[in-house]
Amino acid sequence: MGKVTIIGENLPNMPWQEKPEDCKSVVWRHRENPIIDWEPTEKSSRIFNSAVIPYQNEFVGIFRSDHKDGIPQLHFGRSKDALHWEIENEEIHWVDQSGKPYDPVYAYDPRLIKIENKYYIEWCTDFGGAALGLGVTEDFKTFTRLENPFIPFNRNGVLFPRKVNGNFLMLSRPSDSGHTPFGDIFLSESPDLIYWGKHRRVMTKGGGWWQNLKIGSGPAPIETSEGWLLFYHGVCGTCNGYVYSFGAAILDSNHPSKVLYRTRDYLMTPQKEYETTGFVPNVVFPCSTLCDAATGRIAIYYGSADTYVSVAYAEVDELVRYIKANSRLLDGDSIEYR
């Protein structure tokens, strides 16, 4: 295997810190974490599980903000360095495709991805029950809601950054109406972002304790020379509540419902105080990445303890080699290929 590379754009101005000498993991934390602290705007109690992307030589983001009335909404933010953020106090106001206001009752856990020069946002919203919201913007001024992809209950909708075999692809995690105690990752295809089908189960919960209750996709998959690199969260139940860790998988380039490798051990579990202590203790929840194809650098944006936004780093060649060497597939993974 030659050096693993990212297939994508260069991003020399993305945040980066070299791995500390005493770090034994292939993922390491930003030294100044968390980058967003309590009460970052007047309306916001906490901003966490959020998604960022390069835009016009700077960075923009869609932020999950839990308001002081307890209701989560999405806010827009800008940054020159992707570490110091100016986040608007007013939540994003959406329109439908005819231009009429169409604001969500609540909105959380956004993902953000550019496909063919448009920016798509997926989030969890009320649609007669917790379901996936889907919207698009070209200028981060007008935000237009598209058809909701799936009926309730579903969460963790994640679009791929390009069509594969002519279709858009979305990962999702069918769930229930509460703090779902189960969950596997599925893949669905669509020719037009309206009609979805060819549903496949990609990965199942299980294996080590850290992912034995449920799993859910994290950031949009990153295309690499070895396949799609997917970070995902894994949850276990303890006598003190759920613990959210994250690992990663490599999905086949042309048939992404086929899992080639997935981490037996977590890549990150709550350890630092800003991960173990907060509104919901013991949560690390990745929602987006920034990547530089030229160097293979990856910055992972994750919510910590449902309170903060934090950043971690990895280098693609080292990470993919680690995933391949420390993989354990489960019986329920990629069932159509068995």
Binding site for ligand BMA (CB under 6 A): 49, 108-109, 179, 244, 280, 283, 285, 303, 306
Minimal distance, residue 179 CB to ligand BMA, in Å: 6
Peptide bond into 34 cis (omega under 30): yes
Minimal distance, residue 243 CB to ligand BMA, in Å: 10
Q: Pick between residue 108 and residue 153 the one whose CB is nearest to ligand BMA.
A: 108
Q: Pick between residue 29 and residue 258 the one whose CB is nearest to ligand BMA.
A: 29
Cβ within 8 Å of residue 67, ≥6 positions away: 43, 44, 45, 73, 91
Token pair of 2 as six digits: 């030659």
Minimal distance, residue 248 CB to ligand BMA, in Å: 18
Cβ within 8 Å of residue 338, ≥6 positions away: none
Judged on CB neighbours under 10 Å (0-12, 13-18, 19+), 246 is buried
Minimal distance, residue 69 CB to ligand BMA, in Å: 17
Number of Cα atoms under 13 Å in the Cβ half of residue 289? 32
Q: Pick between residue 210 and residue 244 the one whose CB is nearest to ligand BMA.
A: 244
Q: Pick between residue 257 and residue 288 the one whose CB is nearest to ligand BMA.
A: 288
Q: Pick between residue 134 and residue 287 the one whose CB is nearest to ligand BMA.
A: 287
Q: Pick between residue 47 and residue 291 the one whose CB is nearest to ligand BMA.
A: 47
Give me the residue whose beta carbon is nearest to ligand BMA. Answer: 280
Instruction: Provide the 8-state DSSP code for 209.
Output: G
What Cα–Cα distance (Å) separates residue 252 from each residue in 116, 176, 285, 318, 328?
22, 29, 24, 19, 16
Question: Nearest-5° angle of CA 176, CA 267, CA 48?
Answer: 55
Minimal distance, residue 235 CB to ligand BMA, in Å: 8
Minimal distance, residue 155 CB to ligand BMA, in Å: 7
Q: Give dist(CA 287, CA 57) in Å, integer.
A: 21
